[in-house]
Structure 1
Amino acid sequence: MPHHPPARRLRRNIRVRWGWLIGTAAATSIASAQPAPALSPIVVTATRTERTVDDAPVRTEVVGRDEIERTRAVTLKDALENVPGLQLREVHGKSGYEVTLQGMTSDQVLVLVDGLPITASTGSTVDISQYLLSAVDRVEVVKGASSAQYGSAAIGGVINVITRPIQPGFSGQVTVDAGSRGSQDVSSWPTRKHGQFLLEGGSDTLRARLSGDAVKDAGFAVNPDGWARQGDAVERQQVALRLAWHPSRSGEVWAEAGTYAEDDEQRYTTYVPPNEVLQRKTEEITRDRIASGARWTFENGVSVQAKGVAEGYDSESIEYAGGAAGSRRNAEMRMRHLTLQTDLPAWAGQLWQFGADVHEDTLDQTVNGVPELDGNGRAKRSSNELFVQNDIVLGDDWELLLGARYQDDSDFGGHLAPKASLKANVYSSGDWRGVLRASVGQGYRVPNLKERHYRFDHSSIGYVVIGDPNLKPESSDSVQLGGTFDFGPAVKVDANLFYNRVKDLIQIDQDNGVPVNGITEYRYENVGRARTQGLETAVRWQATPSLTLQAAYTRTDTEDLETGLELTRRPKDIARIGLDWAAAPGTQVSVRGRYQSSELVNTATQGRSPAFGTVDATVNQQFGHGLTGFLGVSNLFDRQRDFADANDFGPLSGRLIYLGVTYAFGKPTP
Structure 2
Amino acid sequence: MSRPSSPRSTPSRLRRALHLALSAPLATAAVAVAQEAHTLEPVVVTGTRTEKTLDDTPIRTEVVTREEIERTHARTLTQALENIPGLQLREIHGKSGYELSLQGLSSDQVLVLIDGLPISASTGSTVDLSQYLLTDVDHIEVVKGATSAQYGSSAMGGVINVITRPAQPGLSGTATLDAGSYGSQNSKGGSWRPANRHGQFSIQGGNEQLRGRIAADVLDDDGFGINPDAWSRQGDEIRRQQYSARVDWLPGARQRYFVDGSVYREDDTQRYTTFVPPNLLPQRKTETIERKRITGGGQWELGNGTRLQLKGVGERYDSTSQAYSNEFPTTRRNARQEMGHLTAQVDLPAWRNQLWQFGADYHYEDLRQDNNGVSEFVRSGSVDRSSKEVFAQNDIIFNDTWELLLGARYQDDSDFGGHFAPKASLRGKLLNTQDWSGVLRASFGQGYRVPNLKERYYLFDHSALGYMVLGNPDLKPEASNSFQLGGTLTFRQDVTFEVNAFMNRVKDLIQTDMSNTTIIDGVTAYTYRNIARARTQGIETGLRWQATPALALNVGYTFTDAKNLDTGGELTRRPRHIGRIGADWRALPDTTVSVRTRIQSSELISSDDVAQSNGGSGGGGRSPGWTTLDLMVNQKIGRQLTLFAGINNLFDRQRDFSNPTDFGPLRGRFVYVGARYAFGSTQ
Fold equivalence (TM over 0.5): yes
Cα distance in 2 between the residues matched to 1:242 and 1:459: 47
Cα distance in 1 between the residues matched to 2:606 and 2:107: 19
List aligned pairs for 1:28-47, cutoff 5 A.
38-47=39-48
How far does the alpha carbon of each residue in 1:4-63 deviate from its partner, in whole angstroms, 9 at most, with x for none?
A: 5266454135344213321132389xxxxxxxx652000001111110000001000000
1:12 equivalent to 2:16? Answer no
Cα distance in 1 between the residues matched to 2:419 and 2:376: 31
- Name the CA shift for 1:508/1:620 in 2 (closer, same or farther; >3 Å): farther
Q: What corresponds to 2:452 in structure 1?
A: 448
Cα distance in 2 between the residues matched to 1:554 and 1:512: 36
Q: 487, 496, 504: which is aligned to 1:492? A: 496
Q: What corresponds to 1:54 in structure 2?
A: 55
Q: What corresponds to 1:541 in structure 2?
A: 545
Q: 615, 618, 621: which is aligned to 2:635? A: 621
How far does the alpha carbon of each residue in 1:293-344 deviate from its partner, in whole angstroms, 9 at most, with x for none?
A: 1001111000000000000001111110111101111111000100000000
List aligned pairs for 1:427-446, cutoff 5 A.
427-446=431-450
1:166 equivalent to 2:167? Answer yes
- Name the CA shift for 1:514/1:600 in 2 (closer, same or farther; >3 Å): farther
Q: 560, 563, 573: which is aligned to 2:577? A: 573
1:381 equivalent to 2:385? Answer yes
Q: Structure 1 residues 456-465 or 390-399, which shifts more?
A: 456-465
Q: What corresponds to 1:114 in structure 2?
A: 115
Q: 30, 49, 61: which is aligned to 1:21? A: 30
Q: 652, 666, 670: which is aligned to 1:656? A: 670
- Name the CA shift for 1:135/1:405 in 2 (closer, same or farther; >3 Å): same
Q: Secondary structure at the match of 1:26?
A: helix
Shift in Å, 1:488: 1.3
Q: What corresponds to 1:179 in structure 2?
A: 180
Shift in Å, 1:276: 1.3
How far does the alpha carbon of each residue in 1:527-578 deviate from its partner, in whole angstroms, 9 at most, with x for none?
A: 3210000000000000000000110000000110000001000000000000
Contact 1:509/1:602 (<8 A) preserved:
no
Cα distance in 1 between the residues matched to 2:455 and 2:497: 40
1:205 equivalent to 2:209? Answer yes
How far does the alpha carbon of each residue in 1:173-204 deviate from its partner, in whole angstroms, 9 at most, with x for none?
A: 00011110111111131111111111111100
Q: What corresponds to 2:4 in structure 1?
A: none
Cα distance in 1 between the residues matched to 2:542 and 2:378: 48
How far does the alpha carbon of each residue in 1:84-135 deviate from its partner, in whole angstroms, 9 at most, with x for none?
A: 1000000011100001000000000000000000001015100000000000
Q: What corresponds to 1:302 in structure 2?
A: 306
Shift in Å, 1:372: 2.2
Shift in Å, 1:371: 2.0
Contact 2:148/2:156 (<8 A) preserved:
no
Shift in Å, 1:454: 2.9
Cα distance in 1 between the residues matched to 2:65 and 2:351: 33
Cα distance in 2 between the residues matched to 1:518 and 1:186: 41
- Name the CA shift for 1:609/1:512 in 2 (closer, same or farther; >3 Å): farther
Q: What corresponds to 1:633 in structure 2?
A: 647
Q: Which amino acid aligns with 2:260?
A: E
- Name the CA shift for 1:475/1:63 in 2 (closer, same or farther; >3 Å): same
Q: In structure 1, list runs of 5 or more residues that go unmatched.
A: 29-36
Scaled by the length of structure 2, the TM-score of the pair is: 0.93
Q: Which amino acid aligns with 2:239?
A: E
Q: Secondary structure at the match of 2:637?
A: strand
Contact 1:146/1:420 (<8 A) preserved:
no
Cα distance in 1 between the residues matched to 2:238 and 2:365: 27
Cα distance in 2 between the residues matched to 1:97 and 1:325: 27
Q: What corresponds to 1:31 in structure 2?
A: none
Q: What corresponds to 1:142 in structure 2?
A: 143
- Name the CA shift for 1:413/1:449 in 2 (closer, same or farther; >3 Å): same
Cα distance in 1 between the residues matched to 2:166 and 2:225: 41
Q: What corresponds to 1:258 in structure 2?
A: 262
Cα distance in 2 between the residues matched to 1:435 and 1:574: 25
Cα distance in 1 between the residues matched to 2:229 and 2:529: 41
Q: What corresponds to 2:197 in structure 1?
A: 193
- Name the CA shift for 1:517/1:495 in 2 (closer, same or farther; >3 Å): farther
Root mean square deviation, CA, Å: 2.1
How far does the alpha carbon of each residue in 1:263-307 deviate from its partner, in whole angstroms, 9 at most, with x for none?
A: 111111111112211111111100000110100111100000000
Contact 2:25/2:299 (<8 A) preserved:
no
- Name the CA shift for 1:4/1:460 in 2 (closer, same or farther; >3 Å): farther
Contact 1:288/1:311 (<8 A) preserved:
yes
Q: Secondary structure at the match of 1:155?
A: coil
Q: Secondary structure at the match of 1:149?
A: helix
Q: What corresponds to 1:97 in structure 2?
A: 98
Shift in Å, 1:520: 7.3
Cα distance in 2 between the residues matched to 1:628 and 1:511: 58
Q: What corresponds to 1:647 in structure 2?
A: 661
Q: Structure 1 residues 278-287 or 505-514, which shifts more?
A: 505-514
- Name the CA shift for 1:525/1:205 in 2 (closer, same or farther; >3 Å): same
Q: Structure 1 residues 241-250 or 287-296, which shifts more?
A: 241-250
Cα distance in 1 between the residues matched to 2:494 and 2:284: 54
Contact 2:148/2:448 (<8 A) preserved:
no
Shift in Å, 1:146: 4.2
- Name the CA shift for 1:164/1:206 in 2 (closer, same or farther; >3 Å): same
Q: Secondary structure at the match of 2:120?
A: coil
Cα distance in 1 between the residues matched to 2:306 and 2:405: 19
Q: What corresponds to 1:526 in structure 2?
A: 530
Q: Secondary structure at the match of 2:68?
A: helix
Contact 2:137/2:165 (<8 A) preserved:
yes
List aligned pairs for 1:354-433, cutoff 5 A.
354-433=358-437
Q: In structure 2, list runs of 5 or more residues that go unmatched.
A: 1-6, 612-620
Q: Secondary structure at the match of 2:151?
A: coil
> How many residue pairs align between the two structures?
660
Seq. identity, %: 59
